[in-house]
Structure formats: structure tokens, C-alpha cells
Amino acid sequence: MVTATGGVIGPAPGPVEPAGGTPVAARARWTWWAPVALFTIGLAVSSLVLLWSWLSAPVSHPGWFVQNDLIRSIQNAWWQGRHSGLLRLYSGDGATLVGLPGFQMLLVAIVLLGQHVGLSAPGEGAPLHAAVLGSGVHPVGSIWYLVVPLALAAAFAALFPFDALVRRCQLTGPRRVAVLSAVTVLIAWSAAYWGHPEYAVASGFLAGAVVRAQDRRWGSAGWLLGFGVACQPVVLLAVPLVLVLAQRRWVTTLVRTCIPPLVAVALPLVGDPRDTLHAVLVQSESWRIDPHHRTPLLALVPHPNRVMVNPGWPRDVALGLAVVLAFPLARWVRRRADVRALTWAVAVVLALRCTSESLVYPYYVFPFLIFSLPSVSGGRWFRAVGVLGYAAALVTLVSADVFGSWAYWSVLIVGQAGLLAIAFPGSTSGEEAPGAWRSAASPADRQDPGQLASAPTT
């Protein structure tokens, strides 16, 4: 809403209560019940399914058991905790770790806790496994009964900052619950089925950074961006957009963004600088593991040997495009003065990841998907249903093992472009107006820091 003097506009942090409305405690319960309920349901169901699967899958479904990457991550964490701690995260069995180690450090801490209380590690005896499998040796060991709920809890905790973002986008009532339910399913798909909770954790930090950027709290926005980058470097694609929006505060915001990833990688750099720099900057991976999720870029990127492939120049091009797109997107966001526009712009830069990789596993689309959902507010029900249905169809297609490299890449590009087109936040009379984004908070901003601000009219 625009004030009479051209003051603050944009969606309020929560629904406006009528005169004589409910008490503060009742409003708080209605605010939190949806993410708390979905967090509890998602964590309980995903944990029970994974714990049962890891107990029986080595015999009943060995292919899926090997496919889940969380198993390898925690095996690495066990080796690192037992032998070298944080100094050699990228050495020995940990050589399979690529990227920044923020989430891996959490896994090391959990595994050390499990070892301290006497839980068995990979290859060690476990009576419960013996009762089910007829053998006391299990590929994961009983330590996973501690790791699973804690690792998944970190992933599903992303529901809370994302719910704050959804409410800023004025998604209320059934539509809010529908979007949060879709996010819960996507977290379970990425974290539990594919074994990559770090994508949800990083996306949660990014959602918090978007909320703080809307409030023009660039200090905390920078810190949250930094924690997100430390967990999963895909968040780097959104950093230029936030820095351009920060305007004169971009230097201090950038400094805060750089501190968490540098701290996370400091000890590995001291213990093993060569392997650490290679894993963080080059990020080689095997291209023969999964023949169904390759793109035509595989023929154009460097191949250090017959098995491994480097991301190479396409990833650098994606980062360059994120910087170039940050300027027109930031100008458009400031003109719209609407958090839905900011959320959609973040989804645009996140879409660059899947169009520039030679190997695109299905969970790579997770950050893009969850940031494309909130912008459906302001439209009718059929639009929200269409966006959710389109996102479900895209997840189904990218998860299918039926496409060749060109067809798969086409599905990624066309699918993401179509979802961005459907989710584009159209103007609604009375909700949006042209205005400028102010980096410094005015007295009106301090009274209502959850709004985007427009320049005073003359």
C-alpha cells in the first residue's frame, strides 16, 4: 500500500488484523503452526523411511542404497573425524568432497558425537543389523540412526526462513500452506531421496538473506549469504544481485559474505592446501557414474582423465552472466519495490546453474524451484495451482532416466524458462507502484522495517 506522502509500499510481513482482532499470542500460534507442523511431519516421515531403508536396502534395493549420496558424505565424515579432523577434509576418503565444507563440518561434528556415545561406524558390528541381515557388518553402521534425524532436521529447518519469505509475499491461508507443503516435499526429495541436505540448508540461508535485504538490513543479509555460500556455492549466483541492491553498502555486505566461507575453508587450507584448492576451485567429478543426466556441454569442458571432468568455462560464464544480469534485475526490483520481484529475480539467477553444467543431477534444480514458488501471490487460485503443477512436472521429467543429453538439456532450459514465465509477478492495482529502493533506512522505514520503500513523491 502507498501512503499519502508516497511512503512505504509492498506486502506487509503478515496479515493485517481487524480492529479488536485476536491477541498477540493467538496471532503467533497462527503464524507458526504451518511451518512447525510441516517440519515435524517432513522430518518424521523422511527419517523413518531412510532409517528403514538403510536397514534393509543393502539386501532388498542395493542400487538405490548406493545411489543416496548422504551415505558417502557421512562415510567421509566418519573417516575425517576418526583420522584427521577438519585439517584434511579433502584428503583420503574425503577426496570425494568437492565445494565448500560448511555442511560437511556439521556432519563431522555429528559423527564425532556418535563415536563418543559408542555408536558403530561403517563396517563395524551392530546387533540390530545382525538380526535383520543375518550379519553384524553393515555398510553404514548404527551411527546413522543419530546422523539421519539431525542432518534432515537441518534441511527441514529451511521451512522457517522460507515461510517468512512467503508471508512477505502476501501468501496467506490455503495458498501459503500449499506452497509450504510443496517446499516440504522438495526438501524430502533433495535431502532424503538424493542425499543432499546442504541444498536445503543453503537455500534457507538465502531465503533469510532475501528477507533481510527487503528490510535493507545489509549487514545481516551479508552474513546469511556467507553461510549459504559456505554450505553450497550455488548461492554465489545470487550474491551480485544483493550487492547491487545494497548500493553504497555493497563493500561491507561483500566483506560479511566472504567471512563464513573463508573461515570454513581455513583449517583444510592449512592442513592440505593443494587438495583443498583443487576441490574448492576446480571441483572435478566423475562423468561415468550416471549416464542419464549429462548435457551437451560435457564434450566442451576439460577432461583431466578418462573418468573425471571439470566444470570449466561454462560455470565461469554462468557467474559472469549473474553479474551482468544483476544490474537490470536490481533496477527492475527497485522500480517495482516489491519483494515478489526480488524473489523472482533470485530464481532467474539461480536458473543459470542448470543451464551451464555438463552434469546436472536432478537435485540441482532445488534452489531454483523453491524460489520460483512465492511469486504466485497476487493472482488467482488457478495460477498458483498451475505453478505448483508445472514444478511437479519439471521434477518428474528431470528425475526420469529416459533422455539423451540434448533432450535432457532442453527439458532443463525450457522447463525453467516456462516456470519463470508462469510465476512472473504481475502488477496488481493497489499492491505495487513505481519507486526507488533506498539503501539507508528512513524514519518511516524504522517504524515498519518489513516494507520496501519508494521515494517520496513531489
Over the stretch 259-309, which tens digit does the pLDDT of each residue have? 999 999 998 898 888 888 888 888 888 877 777 889 999 999 988 888 888
List, in order, residues 6 or more apart from 98 with CB less than 8 Å away. Answer: 279, 280, 283, 284, 285
Residue-level pLDDT at 109: 87
pLDDT of residue 258 exceeding 80, the answer is yes
Classify residue 65 by burial, with Cβ atoms within 10 Å: 0-12, 13-18, 19+.
middle
Percent of the chain clearing pLDDT 70 (strictly above): 76
The pTM score is 0.84
Q: What is the DSSP letter of 188?
A: I
pLDDT of residue 79 exceeding 70, the answer is yes
Domain ranges for the chain: 24-422
Distance CA 195, CA 193 (A): 6
Distance CA 1, CA 9 (A): 5
What are the tens digits of pLDDT across the range 10-52?
444 444 444 444 454 445 556 788 899 999 999 999 998 887 7
C-alpha cell recorded at residue 12: 506487509
Distance CA 405, CA 407 (A): 6
What are the tens digits of pLDDT across the range 310-321?
888 999 999 999
**DSSP states along 77-103:** HHHHHHHTTTTTTTSGGGGG--S--HH
Helix residue spans in 169-196 (DSSP H) = 173-187
Give the pLDDT band (50/70/90) at residue 452: very low
What are the tens digits of pLDDT across the range 432-448?
433 334 444 434 333 33
Residue-level pLDDT at 371: 95
What are the tens digits of pLDDT across the range 185-212?
999 999 988 889 999 999 999 999 999 9
The candidate with the shortest Cα–Cα distance to 110, out of 171, 69, 52, 152, is 152
3-state secondary structure of 9: strand
3-state secondary structure of 308: strand
Distance CA 368, CA 344 (A): 10
Distance CA 359, CA 349 (A): 18
What is the identity of the amino acid at 3?
T
Residue-level pLDDT at 260: 96
CA 404, 349, 214, 3 dihedral sign is negative
